[in-house]
Amino acid sequence: MKKANSNIPELERLKEFKKRSGWSYEKIGRRMGIHPQTVVFWLTRKHKPGKLAQDVLRRFLNEYFIQ
């Protein structure tokens, strides 16, 4: 069985961003305009972001994620 979020590369980038930056789920969620628990659910693969949330996630990563 495939994991629900295996096809969303932005989640791997978000996971890496959190690890590198040391930002809390609360800070990440606040910057994205979403509830911090949503970030937790995404990163623990309990929920998959919808199309609109994926757009928000991409914008966040484009602004804050440094390769």
CATH code, domain carrying 38 = 1.10.260
pLDDT at 3 over 80: no
The vertex-50 CA angle with 61 and 55, nearest 5°, equals 30
Whether 4 is in a domain gets the answer no
pLDDT at 4 over 80: no
Whether 47 is in a domain gets the answer yes
Give how many domains the chain has, as a whole number: 1
Q: How confident is the model at residue 66 (pLDDT cuts 50, 70, 90)?
A: confident
Report the b/e string of 41-55 with b at 16+ CB within 10 A. bbbeeeebbeeebee
Range of the domain at 22: 9-64
Whether 1 is in a domain gets the answer no
pTM above threshold 0.75: yes
| Span 7-62, pLDDT tens digits | 789 999 999 999 999 999 999 999 999 999 999 999 999 999 999 999 999 999 99
